[in-house]
Amino acid sequence: MQVATTIAEIRAWVRKTHAAGKTVGFVPTMGALHVGHVSLMQAAAERCDSVVVSIFVNPTQFGPGEDFEKYPRPFEKDLAICAQHGVDAVFAPSRGEMYPRENLTWVTVEKVSEPLCGRFRPGHFRGVATVCMKLFNIVGADAAFFGQKDAQQVAVIQRMVADLNMPLEIVVCPTVREPDGLAVSSRNQYLSPQARKEAPVIYRSLQRSAELIRGGETAVARIAEQMWEILGQVPALQVEYVSLVDAGSLEDLPQVRGKVLVAVAGRLGSTRLIDNIVVDATAK
Amino acid sequence: MQVATTIAEIRAWVRKTHAAGKTVGFVPTMGALHVGHVSLMQAAAERCDSVVVSIFVNPTQFGPGEDFEKYPRPFEKDLAICAQHGVDAVFAPSRGEMYPRENLTWVTVEKVSEPLCGRFRPGHFRGVATVCMKLFNIVGADAAFFGQKDAQQVAVIQRMVADLNMPLEIVVCPTVREPDGLAVSSRNQYLSPQARKEAPVIYRSLQRSAELIRGGETAVARIAEQMWEILGQVPALQVEYVSLVDAGSLEDLPQVRGKVLVAVAGRLGSTRLIDNIVVDATAK
């Protein structure tokens, strides 16, 4: 497995791989790799001849007071996970390699970036779109793989790639869950044992929304109300939002129709958790 | 010469050209081609094995009340000029091909976009950066060629390419001038015969700044004052700005030092004219 820390190295590696007639799948990560990331590596290996994983904790997507400093960085363990799952190259740049000067250029995706997490993390999706643009340009992969768990990130990246005619495919992979339903996340390790026990309430609220929609409920307000009731069973959970939006545009839905993204975010102690499901209201 | 009107066609053409081991030089234009554009085609042909010219009057870089509707579109004449100068492929997309849906994604370059024309054309450089990003992604060329006449556009594109790690080289070519010094521009054809006669005053003011700097003058205010005096010889010219800025960052200079961009913009009748020179203050 090649470990590249400079842009020149990873570009040379990809150029050589392409010259050999192989396609390149790309999994951008912030490290602290878990089974969710492994599922992305596997999807990339299924679709592409070779797999590149990037490991970079991107400062421009963290707001002031967020967990940039304490974000886990178990680099050696991450490399071992990559090697174990057949990754061909890891791109692990320093901050100075990615941002050698004041960054003046930003990619913003209007509307799609604004609801849901956008209201609670101003600038976050601008940072995500910009670093993904940089990574896509650096790696030059044929396809990039993202997890559905970060639904709004996926929607922002998909819109960016479409609007800017970027020459790569975005592949979205299902959320990987713990046996009790909690969506796997690098931030789950911050949870206290008590909080860890309570965290699956978020997924239970999402499951309830799916039951209601499949049962024919179309009033968004009534679905959200029942979700809030379930979430209220864990008083320690400070809910940021419970939203039902159009799964493509992320626009508010007064009535359930088409593919609905049901999304929840909240804080349990100091840990911010997000989760979502997509329910097809037409397929009852 | 290949004429492609769809993204799929030009991508297929470039893919084939690259597969044949040839490099691709790209000249993005809004058509109404003149000798300035021809010099870019020639520079591209010198550096690259094949040359692609795009012709697209980009609506997102025109402000309300600007000349989008009346911008000249002599398409057949433009194709003849391309063919005559050895262009290998022209990409001439429709508006719907470039913007098939509401465009939500924008590329902004802070600071560099703000002074000079940025103050008079809000949103202009956001539109320029975004469409160049799209065209670069569509064409996938090895190098793109721009004229120094649009100095701020060049600075914005260079910063965008550097900040976002875009995998192409930006080549800047000298401004082409009429015998009387007027910078060649598609908009010169809007000028009345009287205005055409008066327009070279802009270049005369720029030449004066170069004389002063080479003569050792370092006070920006004194240089600008003499330029304003020359420009005042044409009362019909409504000057928008006379600026001396750092040629790389476009930041204000209190004292002349390093490479100085001296830039002027103004309106003669309803025609907006811009021009600039770069003077190296260290090379006296």
Residue spans of the domains in chain B: they are 2-173, 186-276
Residue B284 scores a pLDDT above 60: no
Q: For residue A241, which of A116, A148, A112 has the smallest C-alpha distance?
A: A116
Q: Check CB contact under 8 Å for B165 and A129.
A: no
Residues of B within 8 A of A129 (CB-CB) are 105
The per-residue pLDDT for range B143-175, each reduced to its tens digit, is 999 999 999 999 999 999 999 999 999 999 999
At A42, which helix (H) or strand (E)? Answer: helix A35-47
Say if B2-173 and B186-276 have the same CATH topology.
no
Selected residue of B6, B104, B106 to mutate for chain A interface (largest A Cβ count, 10 A)? B104
Residue B283 scores a pLDDT above 80: no
Is A34 among the catalytic positions? no
Quote ipTM for the complex.
Answer: 0.96
**d(C-alpha B26, C-alpha B29), whole Å:** 10
Q: What percent of chain B has pLDDT over 90?
A: 99
Q: Check CB contact under 8 Å for B104 and A104.
A: no
Q: What percent of chain B has pLDDT over 70?
A: 100
The per-residue pLDDT for range B19-32, each reduced to its tens digit, is 999 999 999 999 99
| Chain B touched by A130 (CB under 8 Å) | yes
Options 3.30.565.10, 3.30.1300.10, 3.40.50.2000, 2.60.120.260; CATH for A186-279 is: 3.30.1300.10
Please tell me what DSSP assigns to residue B63. Answer: P
pLDDT means per 10 residues in chain A (284 residues)? 98 97 98 98 98 98 94 97 98 98 98 97 98 98 98 98 98 98 96 98 98 96 98 98 97 94 97 97 76
| Chain A touched by B140 (CB under 8 Å) | yes
**d(C-alpha B121, C-alpha B128), whole Å:** 11
The per-residue pLDDT for range B178-237, each reduced to its tens digit, is 999 999 999 999 999 999 999 999 999 999 999 999 999 999 999 999 999 999 999 999
Q: Top-level CATH class of B186-276?
A: alpha beta
* Distance (Å) from the alpha carbon of A272 to chain B's nearest alpha carbon: 27
Selected residue of A105, A132, A137, A160 to mutate for chain B interface (largest B Cβ count, 10 A)? A105
Contact at 8 Å (CB) between B265 and B117? yes
CATH tag, A2-173: 3.40.50.620
Q: Check CB contact under 8 Å for B134 and A106.
A: no
Q: What is the largest CA-CA distance in chain B?
A: 57
**d(C-alpha A251, C-alpha A244), whole Å:** 9
CA distances from A203 to A11, A109, A113, A200, A213 (A): 40, 28, 23, 5, 15
Residues of B within 8 A of A104 (CB-CB) are 109-112, 159, 163
**d(C-alpha A13, C-alpha A2), whole Å:** 8
- What's the predicted TM-score (pTM) here? 0.97
